[in-house]
């Protein structure tokens, strides 16, 4: 099974007291705004806090339930369960998707047995859209601003995890080459998106 990506575990939780430590895995592991009663085209628009229930990314055939993710005693983000290849997680002590700030959504790219939920995440481009269905019955629609892969040793924590006044999401998974010695991928792919 592929290791949980250490770079994902470098969440910067500025509002919540700083980043968890990197995992030690062995090192350790468009939708239209017209559909919504609100629009983020007006600066500062966002939704109240509500747990996400499904992530839908039509371009890459993702329709996945969410699970809440937490950090362990060492400050490492616990990954989504590896036995469910169609599940994503969000950092539950942080911002929920659609809420003002930066929400973190993570998913596996693969497991030892098959591709996983974010296997085609690298296909997303600027202008692509996705949505997050929420427990309050609202749907938060997002547009992709950028997608970039970063070497784990030079991961731009401030850029990726910085708190923002707008509702933004980061979709994060492993990328690069799988290092069998480290039991981890060499990069993380980050998709930057904002609420529309």
Q: pLDDT digits over 131-153, tens only?
A: 999 999 999 999 999 999 999 88
> Do 7 and 27 meet the contact criterion of CB atoms below 8 Å apart?
no
Residue 16 in 3-state DSSP?
helix
**Lowest pLDDT segment from 11-15, 24-28, 180-184:** 24-28
* CATH superfamily label, 6-31+47-195: Sortase (2.40.260.10)
For the chain, which residues make up each domain, given as ranges? 6-31+47-195
Bridge partners of 71, per DSSP, are 77
Residue 84 has pLDDT above 50, yes or no: yes
At residue 196, the pLDDT reads 96
């Amino acid at each position: 099974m592929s290791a949980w990506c250490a770079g994902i575990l470098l969440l910067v939780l500025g509002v919540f007291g700083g980043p968890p430590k990197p995992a030690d895995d062995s090192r350790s592991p468009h939708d239209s705004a017209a559909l919504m009663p609100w629009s983020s085209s007006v600066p500062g628009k966002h939704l109240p806090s509500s747990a996400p229930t499904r992530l839908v990314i039509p371009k890459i055939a993702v329709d996945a339930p969410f699970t809440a993710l937490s950090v362990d005693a060492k400050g490492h983000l616990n990954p989504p369960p590896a036995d469910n290849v169609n599940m994503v997680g969000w950092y539950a002590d942080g911002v929920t998707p659609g809420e003002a700030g930066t929400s973190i959504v993570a998913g596996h790219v693969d497991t030892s047995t098959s591709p996983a939920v974010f296997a085609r995440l690298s296909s997303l481009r600027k202008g692509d859209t996705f949505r997050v269905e929420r427990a309050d019955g609202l749907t938060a629609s997002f547009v992709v601003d950028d997608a970039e892969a970063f070497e784990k040793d030079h991961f731009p924590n401030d850029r990726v995890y910085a708190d923002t006044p707008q509702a933004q999401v980061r979709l994060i998974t492993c990328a690069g080459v799988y290092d069998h010695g480290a039991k981890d991928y060499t990069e993380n792919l980050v998709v930057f998106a904002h609420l529309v």
